[in-house]
Every structure is written in C-alpha cells, then in structure tokens.
Amino acid sequence: MARLFDAYVTVDWSASEAKKTGEQSVWIGVAKRDARFHLRSEVHNPATRAEAAALLRKIIADLRRRGDRILLGFDFALGYPAGTAQRLGLTGAPWSATWSFLAKNVVDKPDNTNNRFAVAAKMNRLMTDEGRPFWGAPPRYAQRWLTATKPAGGYGDVPEFRATETAAISGKRRPASVWQLMGAGAVGGQTILGIPVVGALMEEMGETTAVWPFGTGWRTLGPEDVAPLSVLAVEIWPTLYPFKAEAGEPRDAAQVRGSAEHFARLDEKGELSALFAPPKEAAPALIRQVEDEEGWILGA
C-alpha cells in the first residue's frame, strides 16, 4: 500500500509567558526521508511561540519544495466541547467560528507575553456570565469571570470533556479538560494560544491544506483522499504513542520525535489510514459532533 505521507511533524506547544527552552517550552519533532528513503529525525526547541511559528513555516516550506506530503500534529485541542460556539453567540460552522473568535481576541507578543487569561475570562462571561467553565488563573489574574481553582459547583450544564478525551483514557491517564488553564497536564492555555497559529498557517498555505476531521470528515483516509493535499493538520496526544528516550535526551524531545516516528512506521505498514476513522460503534450524532465542533485525537 502506498504511504499517505512523506514527512511527519509533531509539535508540543507551550503557554509560557517568557522566553524559555527545556521543560514546559515548545518542542518540534520532524521525521522525514533522505535521498535513499531512510527515515531521519530531528528535534527543535525554539524559545518562543513566535520563533516556533517561524520555524514551522520554514520546515513546512522546505518539505513542500521537496514535494513531500506532510502530516502535521499539534499536542493541544483543536476543538471545544459541543455547544461552545453556540454559547459564545457565534454563527457558522462551530469549529471555524470558534477559531475565528480566538484569532480576533488573542494577543501573543514576540516575547511570549500574552492575554490568554483575559480571553478565557471573556469566554466565561459570554458562555455563562460566571467563573466557569475556564479555570486555573494565577491569583493576579483571578476575577469575577475567572477563578484560580476549579469552580466549586463544577461546570453546570457545560460538558467538562470532549468525547475524544473520554475515549483517550490510557490506564489511569486521561487528557485534562480543555477548560483547565494551569496545573499538571493542563492544555487550556496552549489551546487558546495554539489554535490561532494553526489557523494562520493553514490560511497562508492555501487550498492544499486541511484540518482533520473538520475538513476531511471523520473517516478512513486513503491515498486518493490526501493526494490533493500538501499538509494535513491533526490533533495528537503523545502519551498515547510509544517512545523511548535516547541517552541524555529530554523527555519532551523524545515524545515529539517518538510521535513523528510512530506515525511514519504506521504509514509504512499501511496502518495509518485507519486511525482517521471513528470507532465502529460511533453513532451518527457523535460523528456530526466530532466533525462540526469537537475534533478528535489521532489514535484515541
């Protein structure tokens, strides 16, 4: 079976408010084939999100010049729980309306200072007029519409998790709720800051790009489906994928490298296409929910 992709790029994003490398910073893994079609890997650790976005543009441009088709994975949510767009008063396709809302409201400066807590508070005000569903602000950012700790009354009638987070349970581990902004495993801040970057990249690259499953449907993808594309962006969760750190390799570096190599190995064996499909028991309502607003973690 022909491979779907030629190169695999995986990104572990960060919501850091200062220039930072090492733990809790941006890591980018790349697995690509050399002139003899041997898989080679590289890892990058830019100090800011602006540097990371510029580096991603360069990596993708270089790969596209080679004629490579790219699987581009991001380790943060690409969608929000069902009903989010409606609660925000947005119209149009829920996922793209939410992406546009974030693009218009997020300010992320070259030195990594950003307004993610203000954006979360605005979303809380519009969605519930209370300090929920987002939570996890440092005390200096806490206010009426954003609390430092999980709301005492829970999330009310706002879903805590997307369907994919429930499906991605691995042993005792589960992805954190996208509403959690800080703390162990939190992904809320990265999602607020990351979605506008993905949206800008996709817009700049034009019609030969798509975001799964929003732009492709939640279904098995074959060579004929990805043939028109140069880049397919997906949501990943490296905890799901096997990796082994090399001597002296930081865990974050090993995870992005290992994730990229994992997808490459599956693609070589013709097993990657099935990961794009829903579980056999998925009801039509769930498929619509995932395709329209929530998205899905590749491999969950």
The pLDDT value recorded for residue 254 is 96
Which residues neighbour 24 within 8 Å (Cβ) at sequence distance 6 or greater? 14, 16
The pLDDT value recorded for residue 152 is 86
Residue 296: closest CA among 207, 287, 229: 287
The pLDDT value recorded for residue 184 is 82
50-74 pLDDT, tens per residue? 999 999 999 999 999 999 999 999 9
- Provide CATH 3.30.420 ranges for the chain: 7-77+190-294
Q: How far, in Å, CA of 156 to CA of 294, rounded?
A: 19
List Cα–Cα distances, 24 to 12, 14, 160, 187, in angstroms.
9, 6, 24, 11
User: Tokens 């800051």 correspond to what residue?
Assistant: 193
The pLDDT value recorded for residue 170 is 63
The pLDDT value recorded for residue 168 is 81
Give me the residues of the chain with pLDDT under 50, please.
none
The pLDDT value recorded for residue 80 is 98
Asked if residues 45 and 54 have their Cβ atoms less than 8 Å apart, the reply is no
Which residues neighbour 67 within 8 Å (Cβ) at sequence distance 6 or greater? 6
In CATH, 7-77+190-294 is 3.30.420: yes
Residue 180: closest CA among 166, 161, 207: 161
Q: How far, in Å, CA of 195 to CA of 208, rounded?
A: 19
**How much is the pTM?**
0.96
Handedness of CA 213, 215, 217, 221 (dihedral sign): negative
What backbone torsions phi and psi does residue 70 show, to the nearest 5 degrees? -120, 130
**DSSP-based helix, strand, coil % in the chain, nearest 5:** 40, 15, 50
Residue 7: closest CA among 36, 35, 30, 28: 30
